[in-house]
Structure 1
Amino acid sequence: MTPPLPLGEAQARLLGTVEPLAAETVAAHGAIGRHLAEPLRAARTQPAADLSAMDGYAVCGDDLEGPWAVDGESAAGHPFAGTLAPGQAIRISTGALMPAGGGAVLLQENAVREGNFLKLNGEGVPSERHIRRAGFDFRAGDALLDAGTRIGPAQLALAMAAGHGALAVHCLPTLAVLDSGDELAADPANCPPGKLPASNGAMLTAMSAPYAASIRRLGPVPDTMEAMLAALESAGDVDVIVTSGGASVGDHDLVRPALEHWGADIDFWRVAIKPGKPLLLARKEAQWVLGLPGNPVSSYVTAFLFLLPLLRRLGGAAEPLPRPLQLPLGMALPAAGDRTEFLRARIVAEALVAVDEQDSSALRALSAAEMLIVRPAGAGPASPGDGALAYRLENGGIA
């Protein structure tokens, strides 16, 4: 039997052959969570003109000692129409347009005003430091965001400030989530002895929702070849099929033979990770199929490491893999085995502490976890205070 693939090689085999889906243009506010299909350049200059950064008074740049006569006002959206001369000042608000001839701003707290007469209070003088110069953020034509950038709230604000009401983004993939196993009960409130609630499909659907255009739930599918083939056929129009359970080598594990009978090509089967060794990747024409283990923690971890990156890459992400953090350990850890291990953990006093139960069926422990500690294959024992790589489970590990 072919040995399991190392994690990095398996992820490279998956992502190295995935091309993002086609692009579409959507309203900018509808692009949240999507990935840019082309670089974004500024269509305007920001700010378009010199603006005051503070509340106070605008004066000429060569007239910094006063006194001054206050001859008008510039408010945000309501600029002063005249030109400042030495000896003149205007009231100015934060974000308001600097007047022609204005070269410095006297802070409100440094001014003494009596009627239209303005002088210094001895605490400060007018300064050009309180002016936001035209183009200090960006200028028309500047490169702002690379293709493949995910649009979040800050990127949306940047795009709109740069003059873009619509953005070219990659389409999101469609997904089918297939639970398999005679032991699964569709209704968790009506689960007789000898059965298990079909919770994996709901978990995988929730994990995938931010990265998919639509998700179709299939199953629970009985452990028969006919039922498995019928389920696969019913999902023949989606971009990705993910199965949970049936990917191992037991007598009732039918995912691999069903995929081969269906006409899919198996790329790899089994990855050297714990939990999650019986992981399968297959392809049928333009469709991708991931066969995940049935144990819920194994299903979660393999979805985190493979399914979500696949969906993000199809959606155009330039960096689809989760991003590891370097954090100190808050406890000792034994030597790792011959597979890369992922320990469910919490952050306690700014350090990583593995939860007590690491069994691949333990959902209570998984629900208490915030992080996955990465223990490379063959790693020696670790002590409290040692640095360790870990993935934050929130937001699929990308933020």
Structure 2
Amino acid sequence: TVYKRPKVALIANGDELVKPGSELKSGQIISSNAYALSALIKAWGAEPVDAGISIDDPAAIRQQIHECGDVDLFVPVGGASVGDRDYMRTVFAEMGYTKIFEKVAVKPGKPVWFGQMDSALVLGLPGNPASALVCAQIFLKPLLFALLGDQAPANTPHFARTTTSLNAPGWRTSFIRAFAYIDQSGCVHVTRADNQDSSLLTPFRNSNCFIRQDADTASIAAGELVEIVPIKPI
């Protein structure tokens, strides 16, 4: 069976976002998510369509969705939390979006949402850069593999011994950015990145995996086995 490459429309949302190279004014930030997500979408076999930045205005968001044309998957990034100006999910609902799920017990990445609008799927990702990239790996990658007809698991779990202790994750499953390596005896070890703030991209620079800690599990001592999800070759 031959499957076509899915077309994936990326819609960044927020009055505070400006394009790379712009002179930043007070309260503005560079819109980086679309560039990182586009690279991942290409690597995973699909065709990204950068729909640009939508301001926090329902009419503008609606127009931008229309301008995306015929796509297989919409990936709005941001605009789905509980703020007074988070309109993205509301606009999709007004345009016929049917919810399959919204909000997930994952850290980082609680405000993920997923559904269908006409023949297209919609996967909403958080606006925080680290949250967006973690959730892309956990939710977007398996979805694209399914659309491509790939039967292989999108995220094959491995196991490694943690070099540091890990706090209990609480009520959400945690995906911790980390670096895994193989020692001379062939054993796999993993070290968590120091700063796990959901707004920071720098921990990804030296990370090649996530440590997965399931919700409501106990803390983990250094030297214990943990599950890891590779995002780069180890």
Counterpart for residue 202 of structure 2: 364
Aligned: 1:351 with 2:189: yes
Greater C-alpha radius of gyration: 1
Residue identity in the other structure for 1:377: A
Q: CA deviation at 1:212?
A: 4.2
After the TM superposition, list the runs of 4 or more consecutive aligned residues in structure 1 that deviate by more than 4 angstroms.
none
Where structure 1 has 5 or more consecutive residues not aligned to the other structure, the ranges are 1-36, 38-168
Residue identity in the other structure for 1:360: S
Cα displacement string for residues 175-221 of structure 1 (whole angstroms, at most 9, x for unaligned residues)? 11110100000134532231110000111101101234432111211
Residue identity in the other structure for 1:359: D
Of 202, 215, 234, which aligns to 1:377?
A: 215
Mapped partners of 1:366, 1:311: distance in 2: 22
Q: Is residue 175–residue 216 contact of structure 1 (8 Å, CA) maintained in 2?
A: yes
State the TM-score, normalizing by the size of structure 1.
0.55
Distance of aligned partners of 1:320 and 1:239 in 2 relative to their CA distance in 1, 3 Å threshold: farther
SS of 1:327's equivalent in the other structure is strand
Identity %: 33
Counterpart for residue 296 of structure 1: 129
Residue identity in the other structure for 1:388: V
SS of 1:252's equivalent in the other structure is coil
Q: Is residue 174–residue 212 contact of structure 1 (8 Å, CA) maintained in 2?
A: no
Counterpart for residue 199 of structure 1: 32
SS of 2:114's equivalent in the other structure is strand
Of 8, 14, 19, which aligns to 1:186?
A: 19
Q: CA deviation at 1:322?
A: 0.7
- Counting only pairs closer than 5 Å after superposition, residues 30-69 of structure 1 correspond to structure 2 as 37=1
Counterpart for residue 140 of structure 2: 307
Mapped partners of 1:222, 1:334: distance in 2: 38
Distance of aligned partners of 1:191 and 1:320 in 2 relative to their CA distance in 1, 3 Å threshold: farther
Number of aligned pairs? 229
Mapped partners of 2:159, 2:21: distance in 1: 39
Aligned: 1:209 with 2:42: yes
State the TM-score, normalizing by the size of structure 2.
0.93
Residue identity in the other structure for 2:216: G
Aligned: 1:227 with 2:60: yes
Cα displacement string for residues 76-118 of structure 1 (whole angstroms, at most 9, x for unaligned residues)? xxxxxxxxxxxxxxxxxxxxxxxxxxxxxxxxxxxxxxxxxxx
SS of 1:233's equivalent in the other structure is helix
Mapped partners of 2:207, 2:23: distance in 1: 28
Q: Is residue 41–residue 47 contact of structure 2 (8 Å, CA) maintained in 1?
A: no
Kindly report the root-mean-square deviation, in angstroms, between the aligned alpha carbons of the 2 structures: 1.6
Q: Is residue 346–residue 371 contact of structure 1 (8 Å, CA) maintained in 2?
A: yes
Mapped partners of 1:212, 1:232: distance in 2: 23
Mapped partners of 2:59, 2:152: distance in 1: 39
